[in-house]
Amino acid sequence: MSHFHNGAFQHPLAYIKWFIPFNQPGKTSGMYTIRRNAAVVSVEYIVRTCHLMGKCGRKIDYG
């Protein structure tokens, strides 16, 4: 069954951004690099949402 009918989708769509898993830290900087990806998907396929936030504070936690 097609979700596309007469030039329009029959249900809501969502623009999703996600990050590809971390690689090893860079040799020069010691920082991790990430790759970003994005797609438009049907909301029927969304199981749950997640919002990631950086850890902030006055002290750097190396552990």
**Per-run averaged pLDDT (10 residues), the chain, 63 residues:** 62 85 77 84 85 69 66
* Lookup: tokens for 52: 């990631």
Residue 59 lies in a domain: no
Residue 57's Cβ-side half-sphere holds a number of Cα atoms within 13 Å equal to 5
Determine the pLDDT at residue 5: 57
Residue 55 lies in a domain: no
DSSP secondary structure letter of residue 59: S
User: Residue 10 belongs to what domain range?
Assistant: 4-45
Determine the pLDDT at residue 1: 45
pTM beyond cutoff 0.75:
no
- C-alpha span between 14 and 55 (Å, rounded): 27
Residue 17 lies in a domain: yes
Residue 53 lies in a domain: no
Provide the residue type at 38 as one letter: A
Q: Count of domains in the chain? A: 1
- C-alpha span between 62 and 59 (Å, rounded): 9
Residue 57 lies in a domain: no
DSSP secondary structure letter of residue 11: S
